[in-house]
Amino acid sequence: MDDQFQLSLSSFCHPGCSHGVARRDFLMLAGGAAAVACLPASVLRAESATVADGKRQAVIRGAFIYPPTEQLDKAGYYSWPGSTFDAEGRQQQYQRRLAEMEKRLDLSLGIDQTPLDSRESVESFIKDVKQSRPDGLLLFPFKKGHWDRVVRIVKETEVPTIILATQGVLLVGHVRQLHDEPETYLINSLNNLDAVESGLKMIRAAHRLRMATIINVDGRERKEYRVHGCGTRVVNVPHQQFYDIYAKTQADEPVRQLAQEWTSLAKKIVQPNEADILDAARAYFALKTLIDQERADAMMMNCLPGLYHPHKHVPPCMGFMKLRDERIPAGCESDLHSTLTMILYQELFDKPTFQHNESVDTETNLYFGAHCTSASRLAGFDTEPEPLELMSHAEAGWGCVPRVLMKPETPVTLGYYLPPVDENGKARMAIYTGEVVRCPPIPETGGCRTNVEVKLNNLEDAISFIEGRHTCLIYGDHGEELRRYCQLMDIEVVNEA
């Protein structure tokens, strides 16, 4: 069957395996990692799908749910989707697309070769899932009368589940049953495998958030902890460690090349001189050295103490811009919530972020956001940077920071992820969409150097938005996708103060 191949679970059970897993045929799509589902859950999660950096891939388990066509022929009645529906052929068609997704999304996707039909086969599948605890499930019901099996799997496994029921299989009552169910993404749409891919990216995003390490440059102590709800590892790195690296970073050729790149890119240079730009480039390389040393996926920093007299380093805002453009989320002022939001945006939409302070124009009912740094490749990592100017840090009054100029009439999404305060709490997320109106000139506006006014779509009064410490903005209208992500991961959406 193309580049897919069959494996028997029995061939993967080690001698003496007594975990009670059914020995059904198991189809592995391009990689074979999830076929170790008969091993203990800890083995699957730790060893089954590792990549080059030693971190495990997201593991998704799946099944098709329908009776064999031969069985329906003997019965002489098919119900929905009807006698002309080729379930076996449709399964093969979907499997080819799924194999492509697995490779493109860099995850491990294991689908049972034999469709689930009997209640016994469903019970065995549920038992397997409870034992192996994959990151998510993917189900394809091809018969209306088998819907109860789908509902049972969702309710009993309690694993984030994507369901694709192609048009003409379910009635609206079936769709309503799971459409708004937490930890479920039900797609009732004709062969909509694009939506399935979006759902797989959601599961992968939650997995990568759980596997990520964020370094936090702050204070005097080195310590680490895991974030409630999402599991992200945070390592606190003392300020002095960065100060020392910055002091040792010389203005060598790579530093000078970066400074020249920024100078050439800027449409206008207002306050900074050549030395300011060069020092900003040094700060980027110092940040990159620290990230590499700690093998981190993202960073955040309480940068303000180092800007007071006596100066310990220059404003790191240009470095933060470049890190974000290079797929390394960089959060200002040690804001964990916005740094987590940046990681989610990046994993879900492949775009970097403008993290900012929030305000509002009460007379025009426009949202206003401003900060002294932003990603410049806001349309995507592989796109051209937005126009920018080089200015001094707004509050410190020195150094070099970017003023990124966002395009008017660009659709944008704003959000802020709030993990639970303890292990018993529930995560929340504020989600808004809108359109860029303009970037007010400096002067006349105050605030920080990169700024933007946005007309919000889903709030009658802009002042009623949920105020985070730093809301995160990305290009594109991704509000519905974020809401689906929150439903799939059981995150409460909160939109008004």
189-243 residue pLDDT tens: 999 999 999 999 999 999 999 999 999 999 999 999 999 999 999 999 999 999 9
Spatial contact of 303 and 242, defined as CB atoms under 8 Å apart:
no
* Fold category of 212-493 in CATH: L-fucose Isomerase; Chain A, domain 3 (3.20.14)
Spatial contact of 438 and 408, defined as CB atoms under 8 Å apart:
yes
Least Cα distance to 303 among 317, 289, 291, 290 occurs for 317
Q: Where are the alpha helices (DSSP H) in 214-353?
A: 239-248, 253-265, 274-294, 317-325, 336-349
Spatial contact of 302 and 275, defined as CB atoms under 8 Å apart:
no
Least Cα distance to 380 among 342, 415, 350 occurs for 350
Q: Average pLDDT, stretch 136-157? A: 98
Q: Is 235 exposed, middle or buried (0-12, 13-18, 19+ CB in 10 A)?
A: middle
List C-alpha distances in Å: 194 to 101, 295, 484: 10, 33, 14
Has residue 11 got a pLDDT over 70?
no
Q: 179: part of which helix (H) or strand (E)?
A: helix 172-179
The residue whose two tokens read 């490779």 is 103
Residue 56 has what DSSP assignment? B
Which residues, including other chains, have CB under 8 Å from residue 449's CB and lie 6 or more apart?
Answer: 370, 371, 372, 391, 393, 394, 401, 402, 403, 442
Confidence tier at 495 by pLDDT (50, 70, 90): confident
pLDDT attached to residue 185: 98
Q: 204: part of which helix (H) or strand (E)?
A: helix 193-211
421-453 residue pLDDT tens: 888 899 999 999 999 999 999 999 999 999 999
| Region of poorest pLDDT, from 40-49, 213-222, 305-314, 402-411 | 40-49
- Kindly report the pTM of this predicted structure: 0.88
Q: Where are the domains of the chain?
A: 5-210, 212-493
The CA distance from 489 to 417, in Å, is 12
Spatial contact of 121 and 63, defined as CB atoms under 8 Å apart:
no
pLDDT attached to residue 55: 81
Alpha-carbon torsion (173, 175, 179, 183), positive or negative: positive
Spatial contact of 229 and 424, defined as CB atoms under 8 Å apart:
no
Q: What are phi and psi of 37, to 5 degrees?
A: -60, -20
Q: What would the CATH number be for the domain defined by 5-210?
A: 3.40.50
pLDDT attached to residue 227: 96
DSSP per position, 108-134: EEEEESSPB-SHHHHHHHHHHHHHH--
pLDDT attached to residue 48: 47
The CA distance from 393 to 270, in Å, is 11
**Which tokens go with 242?**
């960065």
Q: Is 397 exposed, middle or buried (0-12, 13-18, 19+ CB in 10 A)?
A: exposed
Has residue 34 got a pLDDT over 80?
no
